[in-house]
Structure 1
């Protein structure tokens, strides 16, 4: 019997993605290699609890800290592990699972647990928007507006998100933005602006197909003002990963981005909405997070 087991801490969001996780500890017990790992579990009880648990865990003798949930839960946990010697692992249970999909982490709990057994990990770039960390995608404009409205929606899951999107998109208007990317200035009216560290929002919907988590850059994806009749074209380009060839989207790579808008409004960080002011500053933080991947 091994006496050098790695301590591993599972932070489980019980409501992410609208999926129950009460059976997850038994799945972990069944599929985690107990010769390698000594597992501990905690279920979150409120918004921000995952962040608190991760902060405590980072100070203790855990080798791997596992975020069980969607991109929002991952954000809470990963934010406490940047520049840490701890390794982040993911068991995806969100509606979109953008970061997990990019890292080729299995979407079934059994296979995601089995991946942990391999111990395979890499060091990825992270990013900050006005000092707040994000890992997959940040944005403003329509997607941030939709995230903000969806946060107050009683129904969760992809179906509810899509239905709400169809409703909101008919009345949303493009906004003016003044953008500085590594000193080069752009003035654009935009339907939305996404700051991509990885390639997709989630559910294999790609906004920046050529993005990489290890290149030291972010991709600023400016979706031009768009008529309703062109939306199916944009949707098709996103699901076929062709937006980098689209006339509807401009993608500019950079490390330091400043964005000015006319009024405070919503932004989202990994799908989680918050209200921020007119001035936004985004920076890449290269090679700053250890994460298990396939």
Structure 2
């Protein structure tokens, strides 16, 4: 119940409190306080019904019943358009909520994170984020061992075992205008960003899944050329022809590829994997390495850690974050150490 509802009750002539005081200020204060306490104890769920090719929408009644079964009090909010999850998260935090369950995939989590950073009421670490994964890639959930089984994920949320991770922020260009975006997993440039762009186009037409991803890997290779760029990594400037580059907080992207195996989510540093210009057959021959993490041992691969990264021309370098296509360079990355509180699954040593 919102404070405005309480004011309406106070204005009624039959309100029993009206005979006890001439001032409404105390009651407004009391009711706002009650609403804030209620908001702090309740969760909201932000549900992306289109995630996973519509699987979230189909499975939401089951997930909803499991949340109720385990005694989790929540208010559901369903997204209706791109970036809607950001708006819902920002507005609800401003209203007093601080516990959010994300029901969807990596892209939904990314939108919610941007809503968390857009609000100004509380520090970002005062917001607790849980996740029930129903997306396509689920790479962020993989990093924190969040169960794929819905009921196990609900139990993990109920336990509220939290981890405070770093977040990233990148400035980029789109349609000639500078934008910024926060992320909690990986920003990919070059070939990876091209694949994501094509995968997302097919997703918007209702085509999704592992086979769609592999199809776009091979079809994107046909006309792809590495991009020349000047890269500044904590002040170290290098010139490279980039086939693929990842600036990561997490290890996984692309639906289970371990492209940044040296990433540590709370060390206050980006972990970087840079793959220099590579022939098409060489790329295909090393796909397995992208999954098992050994890609960093390849002679064409460089790894770094840094607090800030800048990438400039002369080539046009595309970028995606957490599986969402953004725009192009020039790019400026800034790390935001230990700024996001998330609920994890049972982590192994």
Rounded Cα–Cα distance in structure 2 between residues aligned with 1:223 and 1:204: 18
Could you list the per-position Cα deviations for residues 223-263 of structure 1 after superposition, in whole angstroms to 9, with x for gaps in the alignment?
Answer: 11111221234212122121232223211110111111225
Aligned to 1:102: 143
The CA deviation at 1:264 is 4.3
Q: Which runs of 5+ in 1 are unaligned?
A: none
The RMSD of aligned alpha carbons is: 1.9
Q: Is the 8 A contact 1:179 1:186 kept in 2?
A: yes
State TM-score, norm by structure 2.
Answer: 0.78
The CA deviation at 1:137 is 0.7
Q: Is the 8 A contact 1:210 1:244 kept in 2?
A: no
Could you list the per-position Cα deviations for residues 118-173 of structure 1 after superposition, in whole angstroms to 9, with x for gaps in the alignment?
Answer: 01111110001113111101121111112222222221222212112211112101
The CA deviation at 1:283 is 0.9
Instruction: Compare 252-261 and 195-204 and name the one that shifted more.
Output: 195-204
Q: Is residue 38 of structure 1 aligned with residue 90 of structure 2?
A: no
Aligned to 2:308: 256
Q: Is residue 21 of structure 1 aligned with residue 72 of structure 2?
A: no
State TM-score, norm by structure 1.
Answer: 0.92
Aligned to 1:68: 103
Q: Give 4+ residue runs of structure 1 displaced > 6 Å after superposition.
A: none
Higher Rg: 2
Q: Is the 8 A contact 2:165 2:342 kept in 1?
A: yes
| 1:107 counterpart SS class | coil
Instruction: Compare 256-265 and 138-147 and name the one that shifted more.
Output: 256-265
Rounded Cα–Cα distance in structure 1 between residues aligned with 2:61 and 2:73: 13
Which of the pair is proportionally richer in helix? Answer: 2
- Decide which of 195, 202, 209 is 1:146's aligned counterpart: 195
The structure-2 alpha-carbon separation of the partners of 1:55 and 1:190, relative to structure 1 and needing over 3 Å to count, comes to same
Aligned to 1:7: 42
Question: 1:1-294, aligned counterparts within 5 Å?
Answer: 6-18=41-53, 19-32=55-68, 34-35=70-71, 37-82=72-117, 83-84=123-124, 85-130=126-171, 131-153=180-202, 154=205, 155-277=207-329, 279-294=330-345
Rounded Cα–Cα distance in structure 2 between residues aligned with 1:172 and 1:22: 37
Q: Is the 8 A contact 1:220 1:251 kept in 2?
A: yes
Could you list the per-position Cα deviations for residues 184-212 of structure 1 after superposition, in whole angstroms to 9, with x for gaps in the alignment?
Answer: 11111111111111111043210111201
| 2:140 counterpart SS class | helix
* Greater relative contact order (CA < 8 Å, ≥ 6 in sequence): 1
Rounded Cα–Cα distance in structure 2 between residues aligned with 1:66 and 1:20: 13
The CA deviation at 1:80 is 2.0
| 2:215 counterpart SS class | helix
Q: Is the 8 A contact 1:234 1:248 kept in 2?
A: no
